[in-house]
Amino acid sequence: MTPKAAIPYTKGLHQLTDHCHAWLVPDGTWGWSNAGLVTGSGESLLVDTLFDVALTREMLDGMSSLTRDQPIRTVVNSHSNGDHWYGNELLAGCEIIASRATAEEMATAGPDLIRGLLGQDGATGEFARHIFKPFDFTNIQPTVATRTFEDELTLNVGGTEVQVINLGPAHTEGDSVVFVPSERVLYTGDLLFIGGTPISWAGPISNWVAACDRMIVLEPEFVVPGHGPVVETAGILQMRDYLTWVQDEATKRHNKGMSPEEAMRDINLGRFAELDERGRIAQNILAVYYELDPTLERVDTLEVFRRIADLEGFSD
């Protein structure tokens, strides 16, 4: 196996083990996501596509030396955020697998959602255009899962065993990881952000903490996050630390009677201030509050982006 320290965080295809590769896309901020490739005898499995067709085509071209003799026959979409499936149309002839919860969310998480954000006035639209400007959402043909599963699915990819495990809801309603036991490689999707702030669109955060524990129990040697560089299990522990910190800090303020918006302004990020996308704490606080008070009225996506934009320095 390649020593982990030798895997640079540079754009392109990186070999992890005999049968596992990572397609890394720095810098890992909004929309710049990673993907994975698992090869077997005569076929391959792709873990996630990218945010638009051009990026996905570039990735597939970069994988062509491997997939020419081991063509991609299966795609696993880890969750419903577009930066992990909007490029699916280039693999429409493959079996596309996602958890049932992910497949259901795909129906309302297509490119129209992003285009709606881009068309907003004021700080929300300005922020959306700032973070999504590099991507092309025109003419995307939403290509959703053709096969779903509930909790776990074991696949045989040309003699290479691949386990797909749904650990959501957490980041989204369905969050699947892909684990290759023989290679000790784990592709986490957005259950893991390295160098960036995780965001709990669905929650509860307590379930995401439990998902971190389950990933650690797998004892992977290579962990490919949805965003950021390849890490060891220490990277999972670091993100778990952030999640438990948010949970504790938000709970304290909930118990004091603060609103979620008051709490997001009151919390001192401390050692987590150096993370990218710090404004995502606005949604993470909401996730804690929803768990503590299920009767609390849900805040829509536009309002969440307004709060994040505000914390990131964009204001009306």
| Domain assignment of residue 190, yes or no | yes
Mean pLDDT for 151-155 is 98
In a domain, 307, yes or no: no
Could you give the number of structural domains in the chain? 1
Could you tell me if residue 209 is inside a domain?
A: yes
Q: What is the pLDDT of residue 190?
A: 98
Mean pLDDT of 232-254: 97
pTM value is 0.97
In a domain, 301, yes or no: no
- Write out pLDDT tens, residues 6-25: 799 999 999 999 999 999 99
Residue-range definition of the domain harbouring residue 119: 4-233
Segment 39-85, tens digit of pLDDT: 999 999 999 999 999 999 999 999 999 999 999 999 999 999 999 99
Mean pLDDT of the chain: 96
Q: What is the CATH number of the domain that holds 56?
A: 3.60.15.10
- Residue 301's Cβ-side half-sphere holds a number of Cα atoms within 13 Å equal to 13
287 occurs within a structural domain: no
Establish if 265 belongs to a structural domain.
no
Looking at residues 99-126, what average pLDDT do you find?
96
Q: What is the 3-state secondary structure (H, E, C) of the chain?
A: CCCHHHCCCCCEEEECCCCEEEEECCCCCCCCCCEEEEEECCEEEEECCCCCHHHHHHHHHHCHHHHCCCCEEEEECCCCCHHHCCCHHHHCCCEEEEEHHHHHHHCCCCHHHHHHHHCCCHHHHHHHHHHHCCCCCCCCCCCCCCEEECCEEEEEECCEEEEEEECCCCCCCCCEEEEECCCCEEEEEEEEECCECCCCCCCCHHHHHHHHHHHHHCCCCEEEEEECCCECHHHHHHHHHHHHHHHHHHHHHHHCCCCHHHHHHHCCCHHHCCCECHHHHHHHHHHHHHHHCCCCCCCCHHHHHHHHHHHCCCCC
Indicate whether 300 belongs to any domain.
Answer: no
Lowest mean pLDDT among 215-224, 234-243, 252-261, 307-316: 307-316
The pLDDT assigned to 195 comes to 97
Q: Pseudo-torsion of CA 265, 268, 271, 273, nearest 10°?
A: 30
Residue 4 has pLDDT above 60, yes or no: no
Residue 179: inside a domain, yes or no?
Answer: yes
